Chain A
Amino acid sequence: MKNKSLKKILDLLIVLILIITVVFTYLDIKNITQTLKEIQKEKAALMLKNNISVLNQLLKYGFYDELNSEIKHIVDISDDITGLEIITKKKRFSYFEKEKFEKETKEKENVYMYKNKNITFKIYYNSGKILHKFFNKYFYRFWIYIIIFAPFVIFIFVFLRKKINEFNILALKLEKLDFRKVKHIKKIDDFYEIVNIINAINLLLRRADSFYKTQTKIIKRMMKLKRHFENAQRIAQSFSWEYDCVTKEIQISGEFKKFLNVKNNKFSLGEFNEFFPNIDVSYYLNNICEKCLEFETNHILTTANNKRFNFKTIGKCIKTRKSHYVLCVSLNITESVEKQKMIEFLAYHDSLTGLPNRRKLIEKFEFLASLAKRENKKIALLYLDMDNFKMINDTLGHNAGDELLKNIAKRLKESIRNTDFIARIGGDEFVILLYGINSKQETKKVVKKLINVLSKPVNIKNNNIIATFSIGGAVYPDDAENFENLLKYADIAMYEIKEKGKNNYAFINENIKKYSDNFYKTVDELKNALKNNELILYFQPKIDIVNNKIYGAEGLIRWNHPKKGVLTPYHFIPFAEKSGLITKIDEYVLKLAFKTLKKWQTDENLKYLNLAINISANKFKEEDFVENLKNLLEKYKINPSNLEIEITETLSMDNIEYTIFVLRKLKSLGFKIALDDFGTGYSSLNYLKKIPFDTLKVDQSFVMDLENDKDDLVITEMIVQIAKVLNKTTVAEGVENEKILDIVKGLGCNLIQGYYFAKPMDEKSFVEFCKNFPHK
C-alpha cells in the first residue's frame, strides 16, 4: 500500500471484522457442535452407566424380557438415545427407535461403546436434534444481534467514512488553497476535532499570512536594498567580487559584469587577469589566500572594450570551516585620480592661465638655486606687474581682464627659453626665472625683448589693448640668496618703476635695498613693540578758550623705542600703513584710550576730561570696528561721551554713505565724533550736514599761517562759520603763539590746541598740567 489511507484502513477493518466474525462464528459453531456432540456422547455414556448395573443384573440373572424392556425403556425415555445394543458371547439384545435412528447414528462418533468382560454395550445417540435445537436458538440470537448491531456498525462505518471523506475534502481544499488570497477556511463540520483542526488550520493560515506579509516586506526591503545597493554600486562605481581560494574561480557582481562589458560573471584566474594590465592578479590573490590577509591596492583596470580606468580594490580573506575565499570591493577612482591630478595641478598652477603658481615657483627656484650653486651660475628673477590692470578690469570687465591675462601668459611662455620658468603669483603679477645668466646686462636684453613682445596690442572685444608692465629684477645670488628676499627686492624694484611712471624696468640697487631693509626691520620692530607695550600715548591738551579751562586732550601715539628713545609717528606710521600694521596699532591705541579714561573717570579731579584719538581709514572700514568699540565699552564701562573719535575729512568723504552709517552707530553708543584736518579735503556741505559729528578740527596748516596768509584766515573763518551754522564745536590746531590765539579767538573758535599752551606730554605730565592749569 503506497499511500496509507484511513478510508482504506477503515474498509479493510470492516472486511477484517466481517472475516473475523465469520471465522469466529464458524469456529464457535464448530466448537459448539463438537461440544454438543461430546455432551451427547457423555450423556449417552452416563445413561449407559446409570443403567448398566441394572442391565448387567438383568443379563446375569437371565431376565431377558426385562432386559429388552429395560433397553427399550432406556431408548424411549431419552430423545437423544436412538438405540441400545448388548452383545454377549451367546446373545445379542438390542433396540433401535426407527424414527430417531437416522443414518448419522450409525456413524462411529455417534456410538458409545462399553465393554464389561464378555459383554459389549453399545448405546447409540443422535446429536442432530440437540444441534438443531441449539442452532435454532443460536441463529435466532445471531439474527437478533445482527439486527441490533449491524445498523450500528453500518452507521459507524458510514459515519467514519464520511468523516474521513471530509478530511480528504479538507485536504483537497488545502491543496488548492492560495494562502495569499484565502485567509480563512469555513467550518465543514461541527465536531470538536474537525472544528479544532479547522481552527488550527485557520491559525496556521493567519500565521502563514503574517509570515508571508513579513516575508514579502522583507523581500521587498531586500529587493529595494539590492536595487539600492546595485544603484549605489553603479553610481559609486563600486563593485564587489569574490575569489574562491579552493576552486580558483572568480565571481563578479552584476554591476561589475555590466561595467566590464562581459557576458559571464564567472572567470578563471587567467581570464580575470586580463582585466588588470599592471598587476599579476593570480599571484596577488593566491598570496592573499595562502596567508589569509587583508589588502588594499590601486591599479588600472581595462574593460572588455579596452577602456582604462583607475581602480582601488580592497579585499579581505575569509576562511571558515566550509569556505575559503577573498571578498573584494573594487572602487572606480578614475574621476578621483583625475581630480587629484587636477588638484595637484591647481595646487601648483594658476587656473586661469595654466602657468605655475607661487608654490611651484618657490619649488622651482629652490631646485634651480641648488643647481646654480653647483654649476656656479646665476638666476635672474623678474617681477612683472601689469600697469593699470585695474582700470582695464573696471572699464572692459573682468572677462576681458582674464582674456588679457591669458594672452599675456601665452606670449610670455612663448618668449622665454626652455630653461627659464614663468609663474603667475598674483592678479596681474608674473615672475620669470632666467636660469644661467651671466650679468644684469644680459638680463636687461631679455627684459627689453619681453617688453617688446608685451607691448604689442591685444584685441579683446574689438578693443586693441596695449598692456604695459613695470618690471623689477633681482639676481641670485648677487642680490639675495633666498627666494623670499630675492622676490622682495624684485618687488621693491618693480614698485620703484611704478612710482617713477610705470612701463619700464629696474633692477634692485643698494639704495633701494637699504630702504627696503629699513622698512622690513622697522615693521619687525613694530610687531615686537606691540607685543612689548612699547607704544604709549602722549596727550596734547585742548583748552576751552571761552571758559578758560582744560577741555581734555588729544591722545597722540609715541613709540618708546628701547634703543632710539621716544619716536614720533612720523618715524613708524608710514611703515605701519604700508605693512598693514596700522589697524593693530589703532586697536592698541583704543585700548590705551579706554584704560586711561577709566583711570581718569575714577578720579574726581580728572573725570571731566575728554580724550580724542585718531582712527585710521583702514581701521574705520573694518566690519567689526563698531563691535570692537562696543566690547571695549562693556569691558571698561567708561562714560562714552568723554571719548572723541577723530576721523579725517578725506576718510569721511571716501565712502560717505558707509561713513554716515558707522558714525551714527558710534553716536548711538554715546561717543563723540570729530572731523580732523578739516579743510584739506573736498567736503560737500550737503554731505557735511548729514554726517553726525560733534567737532570740526581746523587743520593746523591753515592755523599756523593765519597771521601772514590772508587766504588761510578766510578759510579758517569760513570753517568756523560753517561749524557755527551746523552748531558744532571748533578746534583750532597748531596754535603756537599769542597772536594766532587772538585771531582764532576772534574768529570764534571754541577750543585751542597747540604749542602755545603745551606740547604733547606723557600722562603723568598731563595730569600735572591739568592740576596746575591756572584757570580751571
Chain B
Amino acid sequence: MKKLLLILLNITFLFALTDDLLIIEAKLYPKVIMLENKFIKHPKIGIIYNESSLEVAKKISSFLAHNNYVSFLIKENDIKEADGYIITFKNPSRSLITALLKTHKLIFGVYPESIKYTMVSLYLGPRVKLYINPKLIKQANIYINPILFKVGRIYEE
C-alpha cells in the first residue's frame, strides 16, 4: 500500500518541482544540518548537480544564498567536503551515494521522489512534509537528532 502510495507520489513529484519547493528546501535543509550538528553555525552546503540539473542547482544555491547560507555546486563525480549535500537530480548513481555515505554527512534531495537515494527530502502538497530515509542515515552512521523522527515521515522501501 505504501509502495503504491510512493509510486503515486513519484508521479506527482515529477511534475512538482517548483521554485516554492526549492525556496522551502533552501530554508529548511540548512537548519536540519544545524540540528544535526550543534557546533555548526554556518553550514557549508554542497549542491550536487549533473548536466540536467544545473539550473536547479543554481536556483537552490541562489535561494540558500538569499538565506545567508553558504553553498557551492559540486558535480556528481567531483565530491567535495561539505557539511551537507543536496542532490538536484533524480536517480543518482549508486557510486555517488556510496561516496557520499562515506562522508558521514546528511544528503538532501531536491525532488521528493529522490528520497530513495537521499536521507532527507521535502514534499510540498497541502502541507509541507519532510521525508527521512533512516536506512541511508544508518548506513552513513550519522547521529541523527531524534526530533527529525517526530517531524518527518519515514521512508521505507
Contact = CB atoms under 8 A, between A and B. Distances in A.
B134 interface: yes
A68 to B, nearest CB: 10
A70 B149 CA distance: 11
A63 B150 contact: no
A58 interface: yes
Nearest to B152: A57
Contacts of A57: 134, 149, 154
Contact of B134 (A63, A65, A73): A63
Interface stretch (B64-72, B96-104, B138-146): B138-146
Nearest to A57: B149
A57 B138 CA distance: 12
Interface in B124-150: 134-135, 137-138, 143-147, 149-150
A61 B138 CA distance: 7
A58 B149 contact: yes
A266 B144 CA distance: 128
Contacts of A151: none
A62 B138 CA distance: 8
A53 B153 CA distance: 11
A66 B138 contact: no
B107 to A, nearest CB: 16
A58 B146 CA distance: 7
A212 B88 CA distance: 122
B144 A63 contact: yes
Contacts of A67: 146
Given A57-B134, A61-B135, 20 more contacts: A51-B150, A53-B149, A54-B146, A54-B147, A54-B149, A57-B149, A57-B154, A58-B146, A58-B149, A61-B134, A61-B137, A61-B154, A63-B134, A63-B138, A63-B146, A65-B143, A66-B143, A66-B144, A67-B146, A69-B146
A69 B147 CA distance: 11
Contacts of A66: 143-146
B29 to A, nearest CB: 20
Among all A-B residue pairs, the 9 with the closest Cβ atoms: A61-B134, A70-B146, A54-B149, A57-B149, A66-B146, A54-B150, A54-B146, A61-B138, A57-B154
A66 B145 CA distance: 7
A411 B146 CA distance: 176
Nearest to A70: B146
Interface in A43-69: 51, 53-54, 57-58, 60-63, 65-67, 69
A339 B69 CA distance: 163
Which of B135, B143, B149 lies at the interface centre, i.e. has the most chain A CB atoms within 10 A of its CB?
B149
A65 to B, nearest CB: 6
A58 B144 CA distance: 10
Contacts of B144: 63, 66
9 contacts: A57-B149, A60-B134, A63-B137, A65-B143, A66-B144, A66-B145, A67-B146, A70-B146, A73-B146
Contacts of A53: 149-150
A53 B146 CA distance: 11
Contacts of A51: 150
Nearest to B134: A61
Contacts of B135: 61
Nearest to A51: B150
A61 B143 CA distance: 12
Contacts of A60: 134
A62 B149 CA distance: 13
A73 B154 CA distance: 21
Contacts of A58: 146, 149
Interface string B47-61: 000000000000000
Contacts of B145: 66
A544 B146 CA distance: 194
Contacts of B143: 65-66
A438 to B, nearest CB: 183
B10 to A, nearest CB: 22
Contacts of B137: 61, 63
Contacts of A73: 146
Interface string A55-95: 00110111101110110010000000000000000000000
Contacts of A61: 134-135, 137-138, 154
A70 B144 CA distance: 11
Nearest to B132: A57
Nearest to A74: B146
A578 B137 CA distance: 191
